[in-house]
Structure 1
Amino acid sequence: MSDHLGGTRLRRTGDERPRSTSLVDEYSGFYGSGKDKQAILAQMCLGSESGSDRRFRVIPIVGMGGVGKTTLAQHIYNDEKVQNFFELKAWICVSDKFDELAITETLYKEISSESCEFKDLNMVQVKLRERISKKKFLLILDDVWNENYGKWDVLSRPFQVGAPGSTVIVTTRNVSVASIMRSVPDYHLDQLEHEEICSILAHHARGWQNFDAHTDFKETGEAIAKKCKGLPLAAKSLGGLLRTKKNPYQWKDVLDSKIWDLPTENNDILPALRLSYHHLPSHLKRLFAYCSIFPKDYEFDKHDLVLLWMAEGFLRPSETHNEMEDVGFQCFDELLSRSFFQRSKTGAESRFLIHDLVNDLAQHVAGRVCFRLDDKAESNVQHMRDSLLKARHSSFIRHEYDGSQRFEAFNIVRKLRTFLPLPVFKTPIWQDFYLTNQVIYDLLPQLHFLRVLSLSGYNILQLPNAIGNLKHLRYLNVSDTRIKQLPESVSKLYNLQTLLLRDCDRLIKLHANIGNLINLRHLDVAGTDKLQEMPLGLCKMASLQTLSKIVLGRGLKVNELRGLSNLRGALSIIRLHSVMDAQDGREANLTCKRGLEELEMVWSSDFDDSRNKMNEKEIIELLKPSTNLRRLEVKHYGGVEFPTWLGDPSFSQLAHISLSDCRHCTSLPSLGHLTSLKKLHISGIKGVKTVGNELCGVGWPHVGDAFPSLETLEFVDMVDWEEWSTNLSNE
């Protein structure tokens, strides 16, 4: 039984009970008595007056479409403890339109069992307040999309008069929705385990508990369950589609079909996922559709994706963010909060995945604009001719040997903007990949509209000079290749924003005219140990945000950094022993580069007579970084003491310090005041004979209060250390 008032639907008490007593029907075996339900019941503090300082609490249940948020809320709503704890209960399915008047009217009607004669919001809320005053209530707001705090504030005003312990449970796909309503932390609902999905699928397909006793269907059934990737709605819908299919061959057809090719009758997956897409702002729809270039199970890096979006021209500065990268990260976080992305389980903070069914959605909405070159497409070039003519963005999985035949499709796709090879999964890191010269020298120079070009990971030795004719190119990635230097024509790519040369272990120099790339924002040369020469003119690249390394000497001075005020992330300054004029350090102006979070300062490992201890001390003093620094490494420094800024309490975010082979220093810096310092590594400081309380810093009431966050302390190769007199216990 349901009522419809102004677009708001209310399901009356009792309607949400599962209609079957089966443990798998409506996923009740997994949500009805599982850890998710018990965790939320604990948050509700049943039978306890803890938290009685607030009149009501809001508990958001957050997760992607089809993961079972509503089902979990149903089992909580009908739980016996809940029935006995709350005096009043109501369930409202809010959906698209968050109409405060309609929701309040419906809520009043449910609680009072009578219609409300008023059509004024204030009057209706007065009547509602009278009904719930000093009563303990449970309200379920199911499927909420509203991100306007003002609307929620208006709706929730009557709830303030309820008795302590009153609870509002909100189900939503969007963390932003939860953030404006919650009074306790969000409860994020994860996908079910594979065995649980198998049980749901088997039950809805054939009424079985699982596939173990049905060998003809077991392999295909479990493969279909795997396709659901933990979404119970997908398992239930596919099970319903399989109910009329009596033999394993028909099941195989379902397995081989894309989710969009399946019959729409009794198939709730498509509308459930499309609803999430429908609610996206238009600018996010384009960014999400572009993600269809990633194959299923592909783990991508957040920063890489933002650079690709930027290169394609999808990002523009906004009122709140001047930099395109900041806009990109904001958009990424919005898509993440709406469950379009999932965090990788590897633990890496910047690594993410897209659920297989969401990946299908991305392909569906992208249409023919995005083209993934796979084995099927390679053998079907002529059949796909019309589709290829409309393709603009393409990706493919690298093979060990990629010959010209594999890329026949690209002879048709002449307006291609994206040429993006992706890593091969589960291959040894020493695997070599080879790309035919016909692609590099003949095909790529003909793709005049390219914005994104990557040859990362291929065993290539050089790029053709014709690469400089790709005037629209904004992103060039030749990381992890064997090139020794770029062709001089690269300096004519005036629109280039991103140049990635990471882990090019044979790269020896950058061309003198590289400074002409005044629109370059990211230059990554990390892992290029043989790079001995960087050109003058870096200071002209005022837009540069990423400069992973600068190699000084041969005319290049550290004061080239003076104009690079937008630098972010990590910076290594190599060959600092070549700095003769200490004032160059002052002109580098590191203190004002507030975006730098990691800094490595490296001198020569050769401590010969040419080294000037006093000069090096003055230089490191003038190279004081911003107090936003999180990580600092100092290697082969030749001064007799560390700079005075090292250990200053203003570096409150510094979490990792490594001091290695600073052999002339006779004492350690005072670091105990660094409240965030977690890891301290000290090695090869051979001039230190005694370590005293100066390491902890002066001014502490108790020496034992120093290093409040320290987790790891390492001393290595301290050959002349004779005495340890630091007392780290409270006095």
Structure 2
Amino acid sequence: MIDCHKFKRIEERQQPISVEIETHVSGRDKDKEVLLELLLKSDDEGNFVIPIIGMAGIGKTTLAQLVYNDTCVQNHFDLKAWVCVSDDFDITRITKAILQSVSFEPSNDNNMTSLEEKLKKNLSEKKFLTVLDDVWNENYHNWTILQSPFLTRIPGSKVVVTTRNLDVSATMGASHAHSLKVLSEDDCLSVFAQHALGSTNFGGHPNLEKVAKKIVRKCNGLPLAAKTLKGLLRTNVDHDAWKEILESEIWQLSEHRCEGFLQEARDKQHIKDLGHKYFRDLLSRSLLQISNKDNSRFVMHDLINDLAQSVAGEICFRIEGDKKISKQARHLSYIGSKYDAIKKFKGICEAKHCRTFLPLRLSNNRCCYVTNNVLTYLLPDLRCLRVLSLRGYQITMLPDFITDLKHLWYLDFSETFIKSLPESVSTFYNLETLLLMGCEKLEKLPTEMEHLVNLCHLNIICAHRLEGMPSNFGTLTDLQTVSNFVVGKGEGYQIRELKNSSNLKGQLCISGLKNVTETQDAWKVKLQDKAGLDELELEWSGDFDNRTEEVEKKVLDLLQPSKKLKKLAIKNYCGATLAKWVGDSSFNNLLSFCLKDCPNCMSLPSIGKLPLLKEVRIKGLYSVSDVGVEFFGENKPNAFPSLEILQFEDMPKWEKWSFCEVDEEARRFPRLRELRITNCPQLLWTMPKCLPSLEMLVIHVCEKLVISVSSLPMLSVLEIEGCDKVVYKGFADQSSLKRVSFSKLSKFICVAEWLVLGSVRVKSLELCSLRENNWGLLTQSMSLCNMTIQNWPQLFSIGADEERDQLMQLKIPCRVEQMKIWKCEGFKKLSATFQSITSLRVLELWSYPKLISLSKSSLPLNLKTLVIGKWKNLRCLLEEGEEYQHQ
């Protein structure tokens, strides 16, 4: 049996000759610079191990060789060693190889104790560099043994590790890892030319450059793929031969190969966990990668994708273009478009043994349609379907053919407009997964769902119109994940239906708790015993009429969850006090806490003592007037040791936020990165004097608040609207501040003066409804790149204008690249000096009803984009010297 967790390769890699220096390495100058910085200038023990991580063929070994042989590295380290580790993490072999490199003597000794002593002696009081190339080991014990001789090192010694596996970095205790990206097309072309022609360009063979670019495009940024072609093309400069390579079948395969068997889980309870494990394995080995555009999605490099398609053949078929669907297809997928008509699915009727029908969405566009012909005439022929998804299509009713799909085990109708499921769905006895996420019009589930005896996963997130779960829902004892359980009215729809769901994992929201009339029903659920739950949301109702505070308090008491819970949210609760278990120190695994729309709640729970809590959101607590020491935890000096995000919103009676003495204040919120306070109009508060990690401060509609940012060394984003005063005197270093937004401030009239302080390096500035009398100072700002000005009624011109008062003109800093001006009703023109702002690339002008024309000659020469919006009377853009003639 092959160990599928290790993905063993068949052949051993050849040991690279580390002393060979490539004459030209393209596209890695910045990577080399970063690594040299870590090797030569950092004595931090956290950087003792420096991993270089990336997929196969991306150039990890080449980069390591490049820095290993660098002259500065040669002079910096007393000793150097290079070992190719590969799959077999043989500690004895690796130790012997390092010893031979640093002692310059061969060794026949195979005794590990003896080898360790010799290596320790050779490394003692020496600054050394060791490169471990192609490491796969994730065993912490093995690494501990290998590094024991390194303990006698002096500061500055380094171990560079090249690996495909993200987990290796954590195993070796590395603080940071350098991830290697694919080369740009130009750099990859240079690599290709170097290895195919012995030159970095095509000066000697211009006729080959065009076809070379096409070949390189297929390499998709992998330098090893470009190098590998040298064996086919080296010294052959015939154009037809190169074109033959371009059109060759070699692109159908790749050198990346992994072999193993996906072992089936022992029971249904472990299938999903096993799938997650294998997925993480593929991700950690760079066979899958996190998308740069959306970190919730994953992508596969094109060469690996080509391999996967080659192996799958016609069994896994991707519908695209004019490709006719194969009769052999078992699994169909396609990128869903706005309109999917019958033409797209030509030949699908012949794939009668198809098991999977899966549309994929690359955008968040929810206006997607599939024609009735597809649903009525094509899909009914696919009676062998196991997996069916119609996700995202704007269908209001499910087609009748659904009844015939008795073999289904996965059904996804998420983000559709259906109001109900056919009762026949209850006869899908093999169904394991039912997804109805975002079905905002869904009103009910099949009444006889208890017949779905194999159902493991039910997701009805955002199905807000659902009034209750079906009766006898509690008989579905195989359920592992239920996103929402809606407590209904009447017998058979009560919360006690959850009592037998002992296998629940992940996330659970229990809503409709106002319908719990018998408090003992809450006790029967036994949430304490459901240790697999990571996230719990308890929600009553936004309608607070005819509510009984005493009953709700008792229900909350009895719904105490497991101590392993990581996220907790309580919403629409009408009690004046929370249950004692909320915030109890025994919930030491809690990472996130949310308390929302609890209008009668008088105080906050003591959550400051929870050691792992990272995120706290408090909203709609209309009765709280004082946030005092109880919030931090009684007698708890180091409050909120891990908190990173803190948010307060809609607390109209909140007046006082009590901190303790200054010396204790310094020990609170040591890791807080983001603080948001919104719509707390009565709050009288001076910010803590020490928030060393704060990066984002957002304050909205807190009229009485005085804000000081004098001692926030890490602040990057500052957004303040509708507050009494901003204090800026006595600023320390503010070089970290990058984006500032001020709106409707009563007592901050020196914005321009503050922005040009030597320590301020703001790049983006948004100003709304401010009275400022010193805008001319803005021209002194050397860092400002992006400006937005809104609701400045006195503004007459953009750019210097000698005919107007300083208050009526906006002078532009010399490096501004983007500018947006909104609703400045007095604005009449762009001054002559505005054209000299050569850095400006984008200009947006919105809502100027008085203007009827705009002169092109006043626009900056390098302007690329001009956006004009809501100019009701605009007639034209005038050329130089032209005047508008109203007719």
Q: TM-score, normalised by structure 1?
A: 0.77
SS at match of 1:377: coil
Match of 1:17 in 2: 21
Unaligned runs of 5+ in 2: 1-10, 664-887
1:323 aligns with 2:302: no
- Residue correspondence of structure 1 range 446-465 to structure 2 within 5 A: 446-465=381-400
Match of 1:709 in 2: 643
1:28·1:75 contact (CA, 8 Å) conserved in 2? no
Q: Measure the CA separation in 2 of the matches of 1:694 and 1:110.
A: 61
Bigger mean CA offset, 56-65 vs 393-402: 56-65
Bigger mean CA offset, 325-334 vs 153-162: 153-162
2:354 pairs, out of 402, 410, 416, with 416
1:730 aligns with 2:662: yes
- Residue correspondence of structure 1 range 550-569 to structure 2 within 5 A: 550-555=485-490, 556-569=493-506
Match of 2:115 in 1: 125
1:473 aligns with 2:392: no
Q: Measure the CA separation in 2 of the matches of 1:193 and 1:687.
A: 58
Deviations 1:85-113 (A, max 9, x none): 44544434344555566666666666666
Match of 1:233 in 2: 224
From the superposition, tell whether residues 131 and 456 of structure 1 become closer, same or farther in structure 2 (CA, over 3 Å): same
Match of 1:649 in 2: 585
Q: Tell me how large the CA RMSD over aligned residues is.
A: 4.0
Match of 2:35 in 1: 36
- The alpha carbon displacement at 1:65 in A equals 0.7
Q: Measure the CA separation in 2 of the matches of 1:127 and 1:580.
A: 73
- The alpha carbon displacement at 1:716 in A equals 0.7
1:12·1:110 contact (CA, 8 Å) conserved in 2? no
From the superposition, tell whether residues 668 and 161 of structure 1 become closer, same or farther in structure 2 (CA, over 3 Å): closer
From the superposition, tell whether residues 110 and 402 of structure 1 become closer, same or farther in structure 2 (CA, over 3 Å): same
From the superposition, tell whether residues 86 and 712 of structure 1 become closer, same or farther in structure 2 (CA, over 3 Å): closer
- Residue correspondence of structure 1 range 221-620 to structure 2 within 5 A: 225-237=216-228, 260-261=251-252, 270-271=254-255, 273-274=256-257, 277=258, 280-283=259-262, 315-317=264-266, 323-346=270-293, 348=295, 350-378=296-324, 388-389=327-328, 391-423=329-361, 425-426=362-363, 429-437=365-373, 439-555=374-490, 556-608=493-545, 610-620=546-556
Bigger mean CA offset, 144-153 vs 405-414: 144-153
SS at match of 2:131: strand
- The alpha carbon displacement at 1:140 in A equals 3.3
Q: Measure the CA separation in 2 of the matches of 1:710 and 1:535.
A: 41
Q: Measure the CA separation in 1 of the matches of 2:53 and 2:291.
A: 18
Bigger mean CA offset, 523-532 vs 666-675: 666-675
Larger Rg, first or second structure (1 or 2): 2
Q: Measure the CA separation in 1 of the matches of 2:117 and 2:644.
A: 57
2:354·2:385 contact (CA, 8 Å) conserved in 1? yes
**Aligned partner letter, 1:724:** K
1:192 aligns with 2:196: no
Q: Which structure features the higher share of helix residues? A: 1
1:699 aligns with 2:634: yes
Higher relative contact order (CA 8 A, sep 6+): 1
Match of 1:79 in 2: 70
SS at match of 1:530: coil
1:171 pairs, out of 162, 167, 186, with 162
2:15·2:84 contact (CA, 8 Å) conserved in 1? yes
**Aligned partner letter, 2:273:** D
- The alpha carbon displacement at 1:366 in A equals 2.6
Deviations 1:627-662 (A, max 9, x none): 333433333322232222222223334444443332
- The alpha carbon displacement at 1:443 in A equals 3.8
Q: Measure the CA separation in 2 of the matches of 1:102 and 1:705.
A: 50
From the superposition, tell whether residues 217 and 520 of structure 1 become closer, same or farther in structure 2 (CA, over 3 Å): farther
Q: Measure the CA separation in 1 of the matches of 2:614 and 2:147.
A: 43
From the superposition, tell whether residues 579 and 217 of structure 1 become closer, same or farther in structure 2 (CA, over 3 Å): farther
- The alpha carbon displacement at 1:148 in A equals 6.0
**Aligned partner letter, 2:306:** D
- The alpha carbon displacement at 1:523 in A equals 0.4
From the superposition, tell whether residues 627 and 135 of structure 1 become closer, same or farther in structure 2 (CA, over 3 Å): closer
Bigger mean CA offset, 149-158 vs 58-67: 149-158
Q: Measure the CA separation in 1 of the matches of 2:92 and 2:640.
A: 57
1:448·1:469 contact (CA, 8 Å) conserved in 2? yes
1:591·1:626 contact (CA, 8 Å) conserved in 2? yes
Q: Measure the CA separation in 1 of the matches of 2:28 and 2:337.
A: 45
- Residue correspondence of structure 1 range 603-642 to structure 2 within 5 A: 603-608=540-545, 610-642=546-578
SS at match of 1:282: coil
- The alpha carbon displacement at 1:582 in A equals 1.0
Give the number of equivalent residue pairs: 650
1:96·1:144 contact (CA, 8 Å) conserved in 2? yes
- The alpha carbon displacement at 1:691 in A equals 1.4
1:478·1:500 contact (CA, 8 Å) conserved in 2? yes
Q: Measure the CA separation in 1 of the matches of 2:427 and 2:130.
A: 63
SS at match of 1:34: helix
**Aligned partner letter, 2:344:** R
Bigger mean CA offset, 514-523 vs 149-158: 149-158
**Aligned partner letter, 1:644:** K
1:91 pairs, out of 82, 92, 109, with 82
SS at match of 1:473: coil
Deviations 1:182-230 (A, max 9, x none): 6665443333345433443454456675689999888876665454443
Q: Measure the CA separation in 2 of the matches of 1:101 and 1:655.
A: 42
From the superposition, tell whether residues 412 and 212 of structure 1 become closer, same or farther in structure 2 (CA, over 3 Å): farther
Match of 2:712 in 1: none
2:57 pairs, out of 49, 66, 77, with 66
**Aligned partner letter, 1:66:** G
1:545·1:566 contact (CA, 8 Å) conserved in 2? yes
Q: Measure the CA separation in 1 of the matches of 2:434 and 2:260.
A: 31
Bigger mean CA offset, 211-220 vs 633-642: 211-220
- The alpha carbon displacement at 1:471 in A equals 3.3
Q: Measure the CA separation in 2 of the matches of 1:182 and 1:684.
A: 43
- The alpha carbon displacement at 1:361 in A equals 2.0
1:10·1:91 contact (CA, 8 Å) conserved in 2? no
2:633·2:639 contact (CA, 8 Å) conserved in 1? no
- The alpha carbon displacement at 1:501 in A equals 0.7
SS at match of 2:347: helix
- The alpha carbon displacement at 1:176 in A equals 4.6
**Aligned partner letter, 2:416:** T
Q: Measure the CA separation in 1 of the matches of 2:143 and 2:569.
A: 49
Match of 1:309 in 2: none
**Aligned partner letter, 2:504:** L
Q: Measure the CA separation in 1 of the matches of 2:398 and 2:478.
A: 25
